[in-house]
């Protein structure tokens, strides 16, 4: 699915100029040529990728309420984190993040989906897993936001209502929770 349909001429990336390299992202301007030969530029954000986990314990899901600086607000979310350890498989990142954020280890981790968060400008590639057979583990918050987030247990039967009421608006959480409910036959 990465290439164009066979009847279309391909777009061509000709280069990229880096404008900014930060702690999490880098920003560049890419130069491209369209199928008809028209040159154009696009702003590009590069991100190392992320993982998220839907941790289910009995008839509940464990969520976090975390401050998000880009919105200057707290969001209710499934546990998640950056893929910031070189060559670490996504499953291992998911296991690590689950322990760090909610203090649980998943005995079973099931891949639910992979997706691009905002492909119109960003290459962030995300993985979402279902975490089952949870066991307590010592949490180890990383960063000021995690140190001040709260952990909330929500009944699985209440998840669709939280989405409908806009109490839960985070895309990775909506994707993960919807697929987890389907996987669990709920």
The active-site residue, picked from 16, 60, 88, 145, is 145
Burial label, 60 (beta-carbon count in 10 A; 0-12, 13-18, 19+): middle
Q: Which value, in Å, is the radius of gyration of the alpha carbons in the chain?
A: 19
Cα distances from 178 to residues 43, 73, 181, in angstroms, run: 31, 23, 5
152 counts as catalytic: no
Q: How far, in Å, CA of 47 to CA of 69, rounded?
A: 17
- Annotated catalytic sites, by residue? 145
């Amino acid at each position: 699915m990465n290439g164009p349909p066979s009847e279309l001429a391909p777009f061509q990336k000709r280069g990229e100029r880096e404008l900014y390299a930060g702690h999490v992202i880098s920003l560049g301007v890419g130069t491209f040529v369209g199928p008809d030969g028209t040159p154009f530029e696009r702003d590009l954000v590069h991100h190392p990728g992320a993982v998220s986990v839907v941790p289910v314990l009995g008839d509940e899901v464990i969520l976090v309420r975390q401050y998000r600086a880009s919105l200057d607000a707290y969001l209710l979310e499934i546990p998640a984190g950056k893929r910031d350890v070189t060559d670490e498989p996504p499953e291992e990142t998911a296991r690590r993040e689950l322990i760090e954020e909610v203090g649980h280890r998943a005995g079973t981790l099931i891949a639910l989906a992979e997706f691009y968060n905002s492909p119109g400008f960003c290459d962030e590639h995300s993985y979402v897993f279902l975490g089952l057979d949870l066991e307590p583990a010592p949490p180890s918050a990383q960063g000021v936001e995690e140190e001040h987030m709260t952990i909330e247990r929500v009944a699985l039967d209440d998840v669709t209502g939280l989405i409908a009421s806009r109490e839960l608006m985070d895309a990775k959480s909506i994707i993960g929770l919807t697929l987890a409910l389907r996987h669990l036959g709920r």
